């Protein structure tokens, strides 16, 4: 008799991006090389000095040994200092845990906050890995609609009606994946107040915060005296330092939460991979200008994309920020997957259908322009013409 799979895993759909990539096999190249706007991948390589330090660390005996469960002290100290300076608050290494990427950070936060049978509120459209992570843990994701007319920024007032005795957390992503929406500080403050009032966790994923146009603090949540009672903040080094293959993320939380995080991480990773940690501890302090230049480049691409789409009737950029734009297509009622497949097959442009990101998203495509050059973004003008 064949062994059965855990139904929470068996019932999940396969990862969606390979399905979308399969559409490009029917593109005949008539409009030039494929323009791949499907995945949030840094289009630039790591800084040469960072690559050198990665190579040096990889060849060291120290990187081959186990490290601290919550991550190397040097990286936690550097990340705490960088974040504290950006937000104008006091943070230290004890507030930080390093994870194998931000996807793992979210999974750890979910396990910390909830158990099977509980609920976590997610704005829709949602990052599909957040929804599937909750589902495989037996935690029910509750959809909080974020509307186009509000720039896809969710409303805390809508959230209150979704809270039940089984609700354990609210999870937000800003700048948002998939929409690119940037949540204003006052919106985040309102959600934080709601979480405190209801005794919930606020899980705040800030993977793309280094690509905000302004240098100031994105919010004031760390300035609250009791912030650690309810807030778990997530971050990824992958995008800011162009090292997604090294799988390193971070969590900032209060003492009680960090204690729980360490318990979980000991059973998932023992310790984060050491090579990337050693190199990134140096990079945080020394590559600020390089990161700023990358941010400028991404913002330039966003501006070019907005200009291109404005010239094509029926298409509309509903929101844009960091790596992403959320694009309304001209055919209401047509499934987004049909539109995305046609765009890939006929024009050699690969974007993801909004339906990958939750219910009610068939009027939209998600565009990720970080992994293409500005010239390729400009070339979209010809690709969209006449569609």
Along the 387 residues of the chain, how does pLDDT read in single tens digits? 999 899 999 888 888 888 899 999 999 999 999 999 998 888 889 999 999 999 999 999 999 999 999 999 999 999 999 999 999 999 999 999 999 999 999 999 999 999 999 999 999 999 999 999 999 999 999 999 999 999 999 999 999 999 999 999 999 999 999 999 999 999 999 999 999 999 999 999 999 999 999 888 999 999 999 999 999 999 999 999 999 999 999 999 999 999 999 999 999 999 999 999 999 999 999 999 999 999 999 999 999 999 999 999 999 999 999 999 999 999 999 999 999 999 999 999 999 999 999 999 999 999 999 889 999 999 999 999 988
DSSP 8-state symbol, 272: -
Name the packing angle between helices 73-87 and 274-286 (round to 10°): 40
pTM value?
0.95
What is the chain's Cα-based Rg?
A: 21
Instruction: For the domain covering 48-286, report its CATH number.
Output: 3.40.640.10
Residues composing the chain: 387
> Which H or E run contains 339?
helix 336-347
The CATH number given to 7-45+289-384 is 3.90.1150.10
* DSSP states along 172-193: EESS-TTT-----HHHHHHHHH
Angle, CA of 202, 204 and 210, to the nearest 5°: 160
- Say how far apart CA 330 and CA 242 lie, in whole Å: 34
Residue ranges per domain, the chain?
7-45+289-384, 48-286
CB atoms closer than 10 angstroms to residue 210: 22
Classified as helix, coil or strand, 352 is strand
Q: How far apart are CA 380 and CA 251, in angstroms?
A: 37
């Amino acid at each position: 008799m064949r062994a059965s799979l855990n139904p929470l895993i068996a019932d999940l759909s396969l990862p969606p991006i390979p399905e979308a990539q399969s559409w490009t096999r029917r593109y005949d190249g008539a409009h030039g090389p494929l323009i791949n706007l499907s995945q949030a991948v840094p289009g630039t390589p790591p800084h040469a000095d960072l690559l050198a330090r990665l190579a040096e660390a990889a060849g060291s005996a120290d990187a081959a040994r186990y490290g601290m469960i919550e991550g190397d002290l040097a990286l936690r100290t550097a990340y705490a200092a960088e974040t504290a300076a950006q937000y104008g608050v006091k943070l230290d290494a004890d507030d930080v845990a390093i994870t194998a990427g931000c996807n793992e950070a979210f999974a750890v936060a979910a396990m910390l906050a909830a158990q099977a049978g509980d609920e976590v509120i997610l704005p829709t459209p949602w990052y599909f890995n957040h929804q599937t992570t909750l589902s495989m843990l037996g935690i029910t994701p509750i959809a909080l609609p974020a509307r186009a007319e509000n720039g896809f920024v969710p409303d805390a007032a809508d959230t209150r009606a979704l809270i039940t005795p089984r609700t354990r957390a609210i999870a937000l992503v800003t700048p948002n994946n998939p929409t690119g929406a940037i949540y204003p500080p006052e919106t985040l403050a309102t959600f934080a107040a709601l979480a405190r009032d209801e005794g919930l966790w606020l899980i705040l994923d800030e993977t793309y915060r280094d690509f905000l146009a302004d240098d100031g603090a994105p919010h004031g949540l760390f300035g609250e005296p009791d912030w650690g009672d309810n807030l778990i903040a997530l971050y990824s080094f992958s995008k800011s330092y162009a090292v997604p293959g090294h799988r390193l993320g971070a969590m900032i939380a209060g003492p009680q939460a960090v204690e729980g995080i360490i318990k979980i991480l000991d059973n998932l990773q023992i310790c984060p991979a050491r090579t990337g940690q050693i190199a990134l501890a140096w990079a945080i302090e020394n590559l600020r200008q390089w990161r700023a230049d990358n941010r400028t480049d991404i913002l330039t691409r966003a501006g070019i994309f907005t200009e291109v789409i404005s010239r094509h009737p029926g298409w509309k950029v509903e929101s844009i920020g960091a790596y992403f734009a959320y694009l309304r297509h001209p055919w209401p009622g047509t499934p987004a997957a049909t539109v995305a497949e046609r765009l890939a097959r006929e024009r050699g442009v690969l974007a993801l259908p909004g339906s990958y990101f939750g219910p009610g998203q068939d009027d939209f495509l998600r565009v990720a322009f970080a992994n293409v050059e500005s010239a390729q973004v400009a070339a979209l003008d010809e690709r969209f013409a006449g569609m």
